[in-house]
Structure 1
Amino acid sequence: MTEAARAAADAARTTAPHAVRLTCVAKDYGPVRAVNDVELTVHQGEFFSLLGPSGSGRTTLLRLIAGFERPTAGRIALAGRDVTALPPSRRDVHTVFQDYALFPHMTVEQNVAYALTVRGVRKAERLARARDALWTSVRAGLGATAIALVLGSLAAFAVHRHRFFGRRTVSFLIVLPIALPGIVTGIALNAAFRTVLEPLGIGFGLFTVVVGHATFCVVIVFNSVAARLRRIAPSQAEASADLGARPWQTLRYVTFPALRPAFFAGALPAFALSFDEVVVTTFTAGAGTRTLPLWIYENLARPHQAPVVDVVATLLIALSVLPVYAAQRLSADPAGGRL
């Protein structure tokens, strides 16, 4: 990214409407001042974190922004609108609460759809939004799995069938994303996309979600194919060549059929991992891109909307069992062992 492009991007961000602006905000609880004259501006598209020890006023500041507390002094503006005196229901800002509970008098569907219900959204539209989020998750999972199958299989072949300088380093770098915390991967991908894609006019959306998910789905396919390659005797390829087969014919008629169970055994868990992903998706999805986990998460975290954590967890576990079981069956060794 050139200096001119960087300066233009900084200027555009500065002149764009701010997402959050606090002006001399203070909050007193009796004689105790919890928040003292805070000045803060967060621009659209920025990720901002509040760090500090316990009792430093972080939670109080977030409650002030959400509208659960009224400031003793100062002004609070969201998207250029002064919301200092507005209640939480009119601020269109969402909070993730530490304590969760279901509304016991509502069904599971009513709990999940409560936020849309109080906003006057019709039932058909609520279901349509859920279906759109589900379809986005399916497309992201299929895209990430397809990329992982190609890159993971090629990497496994390169690492386990060839000897070259840096082979162990390549293997380590491929496996590294699955070991990193999701928030680290998400922040790194977000920064990379802003640096590389935004100058090209490519914004955050389904494409960035697919690329982000593919970074850790590759590991699943790589491990599955590599394990299978270790079980295939080199003499099979040699015997095929001895019978007159060319390398591509050996790959088509001998190697690929032997690896087919490994492809499925890697693809199914990779799809399940992508479908359930939340953290990396949060940092790579655009404003108009919502996967099913994000849709559920946003509805559960809104004010007055208690999350259905236990129901969602049970449903996701039930859906994840099927591809994992299928992968285990497909990876079964005909001799009676396991890959």
Structure 2
Amino acid sequence: MIKELKNTNERKEKMNCPKCGREIRPTDKFCIACGAKLENHGEENENFNAASMRKLAGETVNHAAESLMGTSRNGIDFMVRRYFFGFGDFIAVSICAFVISLLLKLFLGHEYLMGPMNKFGYFCSVIEILAFLVFVVSLEESMHAKSNGRAKTKVDEATQKYISELKSRAIEKFNVDEEQLEEVEPVVIAGAGTTPRINSLGNTANAKKIVSLLERFYSKDPFEAYRVDKDAMPRYLLIQTTVYAFTDTQLLVYVGNIDISTGMIYDETVSEVFYSDVNSLVQQELLKKYNKKYYTIKYLMLDICGISKIAAFDTRLVPDVNERLAGMESYIREKKN
């Protein structure tokens, strides 16, 4: 955009006097050779520059807004992340800036001890005011992002989007022809994702608190987070999707864990199980508490030759899941017999 504006300005600079043909500058209102008045010439150029700068400023502001609350260039949906984590990074930076500027003003901002403030002292006072404003705005936005209907809607949309994508990925991962799958529709369940065991830095579990605070806002690494709002609906930053597909002799199981703010799949497994090896299907419910609110997390445990494969599921994420699981259990029992 800046290059285009520069090229256009260069074309505007090469102008001639309509009376004598002498080359003139864009800002000239009179020809320096013949003295002819150049009517509206300066005004048109000023209007052109003003319009161009307004357009450039508008695009810059829009790009900044998109980067802060939209999807960043490295693929992080900040609105989803802010819904879970708020604006803690801005709050921390504003507090540090306020304290540092206060100390600098106290020791270096006066002509002598407790004397009148110098220019540096006034500069520190401005920084203090700005830091305080950033703190107040960040605190308000942090609370707003957690209760904003738009943010919740975006989280819900991202959740359903990646559940659907993981289902399609599971069919590909099974690496079987459609003819090999039985007429039974694959069963899909979804719930809270598992805790990441490792990230790109290799130190998720042992990262220092300050570094971890900044990483969860700007790093693509998966971070565990959940919220329960007034609608009593738990929402998860990490989602686990499990797909059960059926062939004539085997049960195919896909388990994928994904970060809905980046679309990063950080853990996935594909298994093939003979129906005769399935001992039982057990559902477990655990009651959890978040900010004085209780909610239930469910797990489906598939016992295969004494080894349990556990999958989380939430009936609020996938409709009719209980009926589908009951049908799957009956189908497996039938195949075993």
TM-score by length of 1: 0.20
Greater gyration radius? 2
The structure that is helix-richer by fraction is 1
Give the structure with the higher percent strand.
2
Question: What TM-score, normalized to structure 2?
Answer: 0.20
